[in-house]
A and B are shown apart, each in its own frame.
Chain A
Amino acid sequence: MNSSYIFSLILVIILCVVAYMGGNAEGLRLVFGVMIPYLAVFLFVLGFLRKVLGWAKSPVPFSIASTCGQQKSMPWVEQNKLDNPSTTFGVIIRMFLEIVCFRSLFRNTRMRFHKSTDGVKIAYDWEIFLWAGALAFHYAFLVVLLRHLRFFFQPVPWCIQVIEFFDGFFKMEFVGEVIDIGTLQIGLPGVFVSGLILLAAVIFLCLRRLMSPKVRYISLASDYFPLFVILGIAVTGIVMRYFAKIDIVGVKAYTMGLVMFKGTLPPENVGGIFYIHLFLVCVLLACFPFSKLMHMGGIFLSPTRNMTGNTREVRHVNPWNYPVKTHTYEEYEDDYRDKMIGVGLPVDKKE
């Protein structure tokens, strides 16, 4: 019925095949290993800056904070300083909670019709799963991203090592059937929780989009596409870390070559999975500024959240405010003077 996810799925599969074949073709290593990554980063950074500057170009003519709590009023009325801030500090806290804790999403409810003998009761139950899934997804992604910086910094900064330490804190290990060497072994290198959470969260968000009729109905191909791309990135990453292991030192030599603009190629025999991983990351970066992923920048600029609610106290200035035609009192009195005098209403001009 809604084929948009099939299209996105097919597209991502095609991208994977292209990357796999391209990475294995001798002459294309330069294209897939160096040129496309540079192009993707270029598009990401410039596209992002261009988009945000485009937003900034339009003014905020009115102060339209969504007031989600008690206003500042008389001193004995307790103000909700978080949800209806009247100071810049309050706005900063509100924005911080919004960006860091997804506070508005935390409020999410689910509407249900309960039918009983008394009739129908509409209930609004707290619904935590979207918030939890989104939070898990974004933080896992952030940690995965930060961990990958070990490939881009030499020496590896202390803070990234701390993240790795905590990410690998649980030291999960599994070795099965060791009689034949080559059976399942997990635990060395150490398991990072973030990757698994990311995979689980992406799968949850995909399933939610596919299974919830309402969400499926509103979903576009461009909603499934980034999810499938990220799913592909997570799966290939996990495969390379735990199963089809690759030469990490060789990869770092390659990534350091990228950031030092040396144009180093990826190690030979690094494998097609690596190219899929890399290419999907490039696709994600390149699409970022042209897609809904720009919510990352937009959340900072949303006028309903980043403004104070004290608009009766502090005047907001609209840069394009222009004079308009009004019906003045003089015109009004001219229209109704006799009638006004007739009932004894005061008038400015007697004639």
Chain B
Amino acid sequence: MNDKKLIIIGLLIFFGVCSSVCWYNWLSAAEKGAPEPLLSEKAKAAGYCVVPKDKMKAEHMKILDQWREHVVRTGKREYVIPETGRTFNMSLSTGEDSCMGCHSNKSEFCDRCHDYASVKPYCWDCHLEPKEKE
């Protein structure tokens, strides 16, 4: 019967769509595993960041947003790391003591994971992208 053919075609489409997560990835050559952000020599040497690494992984966007709010509203840029008592300049890209001051390699540090997770932060809509050294 004619409609059985149509139903089979429909089911093949259904199966094709469901299994696309497999065959798409099998067919594409891209590396499937998670990329590691590359630490610059300076960051490596410092050995610590404003918050521990695991928390930073999940929440860096939140911290950046709160810093921006804080700086814009109050004008104060001083951040004290609770664990060590060390102060830090709340800035994304200005000066040696900013985020990018340490993580100067945007493409290897930021973009790798952002691309992998299909995240498009709008940081660089306003901030100048740092010139990478290499």
Direct contact of A and B (CB under 8 A): yes
Find chain B residues with CB under 8 A from A53 CB: 7, 11
Determine if A245 and B62 form an interchain contact, defined as CB atoms under 8 angstroms apart. yes
Interface string of A195-215 (1 = CB under 8 A from B): 000000000000000000000
Determine if A56 and B58 form an interchain contact, defined as CB atoms under 8 angstroms apart. no
**What interface size band does chain A fall in?**
35 or more
Chain A interface residues toward B at CB < 8 A? 41, 44-45, 48-49, 52-53, 55-56, 59-60, 149-150, 152-157, 160-161, 164-165, 173, 175, 178-179, 181, 183, 185, 187-189, 245-250, 252-253, 256-257, 259-260, 269, 297, 300-301, 319
Determine if A155 and B30 form an interchain contact, defined as CB atoms under 8 angstroms apart. yes
Find chain B residues with CB under 8 A from A248 CB: 58, 117, 119
Chain B interface residues toward A at CB < 8 A? 1, 3-4, 7-8, 10-11, 14-15, 18-19, 21-22, 24-26, 28, 30-35, 54, 57-59, 61-66, 69-70, 73, 113, 115-121
Query: In the complex, given contacts A154-B31, A154-B116, A181-B63, what are 18 additional A-B residue pairs having Cβ atoms less than 8 angstroms apart?
Result: A41-B18, A45-B19, A49-B11, A52-B11, A53-B7, A53-B11, A150-B117, A152-B25, A153-B21, A155-B28, A173-B65, A181-B66, A187-B65, A188-B62, A247-B57, A252-B117, A256-B25, A259-B25
Determine if B118 and A161 form an interchain contact, defined as CB atoms under 8 angstroms apart. yes
Closest A residue by C-beta to B8: A56
A245 to B51, CA, bound (A): 15
Contact of B7 among A56, A179, A253 (CB under 8 A): A56
Closest B residue by C-beta to A243: B62
Determine if A178 and B14 form an interchain contact, defined as CB atoms under 8 angstroms apart. no
A204 to B24, CA, bound (A): 37
Contact of B1 among A181, A245, A297, A319 (CB under 8 A): A319
Number of interchain pairs (Cβ within 8 Å): 111
A185 to B61, CA, bound (A): 10
Determine if A153 and B24 form an interchain contact, defined as CB atoms under 8 angstroms apart. yes
| Given contacts A60-B3, A161-B118, A246-B58, A253 and B33 within 8 Å (CB-CB) | yes
| Given contacts A249-B35, A249-B116, A175 and B69 within 8 Å (CB-CB) | yes
Determine if B65 and A185 form an interchain contact, defined as CB atoms under 8 angstroms apart. yes
A-B contacts, 14 of them at CB < 8 A, read A48-B14, A52-B14, A56-B4, A150-B117, A161-B118, A175-B66, A181-B63, A185-B65, A187-B65, A247-B57, A249-B34, A249-B117, A259-B22, A260-B32
| Given contacts A153-B25, A181-B66, A248-B119, A269 and B10 within 8 Å (CB-CB) | no
Closest CB in chain A relative to B116 CB, distance in Å: 6
Find chain B residues with CB under 8 A from A259 CB: 21-22, 25
Find chain B residues with CB under 8 A from A41 CB: 18
| Given contacts A189-B119, A300-B10, A252 and B34 within 8 Å (CB-CB) | yes
A260 to B116, CA, bound (A): 16
Find chain B residues with CB under 8 A from A156 CB: 118
Determine if B28 and A154 form an interchain contact, defined as CB atoms under 8 angstroms apart. yes
Closest CB in chain B relative to A166 CB, distance in Å: 13
Determine if A178 and B66 form an interchain contact, defined as CB atoms under 8 angstroms apart. yes
Determine if B65 and A175 form an interchain contact, defined as CB atoms under 8 angstroms apart. yes
Closest CB in chain A relative to B90 CB, distance in Å: 10
Closest CB in chain A relative to B78 CB, distance in Å: 13
A160 to B32, CA, bound (A): 17
Determine if A301 and B25 form an interchain contact, defined as CB atoms under 8 angstroms apart. no
Find chain A residues with CB under 8 A from B35 CB: 249
A60 to B6, CA, bound (A): 14
Closest CB in chain A relative to B100 CB, distance in Å: 17
Determine if A45 and B15 form an interchain contact, defined as CB atoms under 8 angstroms apart. yes
Closest CB in chain A relative to B67 CB, distance in Å: 8
Find chain B residues with CB under 8 A from A319 CB: 1
Determine if A154 and B57 form an interchain contact, defined as CB atoms under 8 angstroms apart. no
Determine if A249 and B113 form an interchain contact, defined as CB atoms under 8 angstroms apart. yes
